[in-house]
Structure 1
């Protein structure tokens, strides 16, 4: 059985858990958090020298870090990877967008407000709000044209971007300004097998 090391309320750690739920695949969850120093524990850094979660461990001991790489691995041969070549590339483009244009602002602002592990400056809060709203606006434009990010059906791109978008209000973002995103969030939450952020086996 696959093991996923992760932090329950982290969006990045939620991505593979949500995909496993949507595809009905069993896995083992091991809670590891930066808040209590768990990601710095030598037993964990021996598995992932980058000292970050999530981390996937296969039964044979192979290890895979990075949430979107995990989605690509776990999503192979599932309906969440389009058969059409262009749609697969479009899915990948949104996954890159999530890491470079969305997560650094939407997720980081949420983390600054939620965890308070460091003092956020007014300038940092203002800049992440502006850039995060820009990213949400890009999504809104796409979702006004398409029910899902890569086409007519949900893909790994939707899972990747759902993770931090649905909790964006915790970072001070007003999703009421983005009705297309609101409809899209509801569509993701209506998928068979959907589980919320705090879900993992045994929880």
Structure 2
């Protein structure tokens, strides 16, 4: 396909494609003449992955280049490739510095769940930050509540991976995982808000107030 068709199929403007080519994060197409090239399905998949990392994941081009170089290493399994991509997507933005007790609670939590984890994964530090934030705000999360959250989130994660697991290429899986992780965080937050409204109404509105609120 020519670059115009590549642009249409991938949903990426031609000037952006040319920029990615110059930056070396999109492979060159097969030359067909002066200043012309032919592109294939692999270019569509790569562009969609780049778009997911840049537009949805918010990663700078330099980081995207590093990620793409890492996942291109021969012999890497899909689990490792997914991990390399997921590590780069920001988790929490805060100035809170967790204490050792917060880090110990984070490690104890994932160990208690029987979850496979890496000590140096950004998610471990992010969990410690969140625990520290709750503690400093005067609303610490107790272990029983954490365990109930874990049981619920395991169901969410199964849905996440069921949605991407059947895609035919690893780049499609990586693109979908990056996009669905970032957008899925927003979706989960919105659904949580809606469910909180419903649960609050069930607990704290009497029948007349509930009926009146529904009518309004």
Q: Same fold (TM over 0.5)?
A: no
Pick the structure with greater CA Rg.
Answer: 2
Higher strand share: 1
Higher normalized helix content (fraction of residues):
2
Give the TM-score normalised by structure 1.
0.29
TM-score normalised per structure 2: 0.28
